[in-house]
Amino acid sequence: MGFMAKARRYDHGNRMLHVISRSVHEDELFPTDRFAGLFWNEVGQRSLEFGVRILAMCLLGNHSHLILKGEPEAVANTMHRGNSKLANVRNLEDEKRRGALVGRRYNVVPVRDELHARRVIRYVPMNPVLHKLAVDPAKWRWSTHAILIGKSEAPEWFDRHVAIREFGFPDAASYERFVLQDSPLEPPPMSKAEAKQHEVLVLAQYGLTIDRISDVSGYTPRHVRRIIAQSSLGKPSS
C-alpha cells in the first residue's frame, strides 16, 4: 500500500480559515491587556498591509483564535509578524524568557463546509464563555464579537459589515441570535416576521426538508427556499 503525499499547509483555496495559536509550555501569550493589545493591533495592521481579511478574532490567556481569508503567503506573513512582535517584546521585558512563545507556529484549519463554518463562527466568540472567563461574549474585551454586533467601535483594519456578509447573515442581529442560541443570554428582540424567518433557518439547520419546513411554518415551499437562499446557514433537500 502506497503512502499519500502530505497535503501542503496552505492548500485552502478561497475558504475561511480558522487560525489557532497556542503558547509553549502553557506560558501566557497575553499576561496583561498591554500584550493582548500589542498582538491585536499588530495583526490588524499587518492584515491591511498584506491584504488579509480578518473576520473574527478572540484572544485568551494562552491561545488565540482568528477567522481569516487571504492568500497563503499573506496569511503566513500576517501571523508571523503578529506572533514575532509579541514574542520579541515579551523576551525583551522578561529576563527569564528566551526563544519561541508560540508552539508549532500556529495551526491553520480550512473551513470545509457549511456545518463546519457554523461551528467555527459560533465557537470563536463563545470561547471566553466556554473557558468561564466571561458570562457574555460581548463583555470579553479582546474579541471582535462586540464589534460585530455594534456594541464596540471597530478599528480601521476591521470591517464588521464584510464579516457579517462572509458569515452568511443578513444583519448583525441575526448573527448575534445565532451565536447566543442554546445559551442563557437574551438574544436581540425580533419582529413577528423575523421570528418566523428565524424558525425556518433553525428547522433547516436540523435537516428538515423544504416541504416539511413549509408544513410547520405555514410558508409556501417557494418562500422557504427564498429565506434559505438568503442565508448560508442551511441547505436542506427538497
Residue spans of the domains in the chain: they are 17-180, 192-229
Residue 93 has a pLDDT of: 65
Residue 7 has a pLDDT of: 34
pLDDT tens digits for range 166-220: 998 889 998 999 999 888 888 777 677 777 887 887 788 777 899 999 998 899 9
Instruction: Give how far Cα 208 sits from Cα of 112, 199, 232, Å.
Output: 22, 12, 15
3-state class percentages of the chain: helix first, strand second, coil last, to nearest 5 = 50, 15, 40
**Edge-to-edge strands of the sheet including 53-59?**
53-59, 63-69, 17-23, 102-110
Residue 62 has a pLDDT of: 82
Give the architecture-level CATH label for domain 17-180. Answer: 2-Layer Sandwich (3.30)
**Which parts of the chain register pLDDT below 70?**
1-13, 24-27, 93-105, 190, 231-238
Residue 5 has a pLDDT of: 32
Residue 100 has a pLDDT of: 54
Residue 89 has a pLDDT of: 80
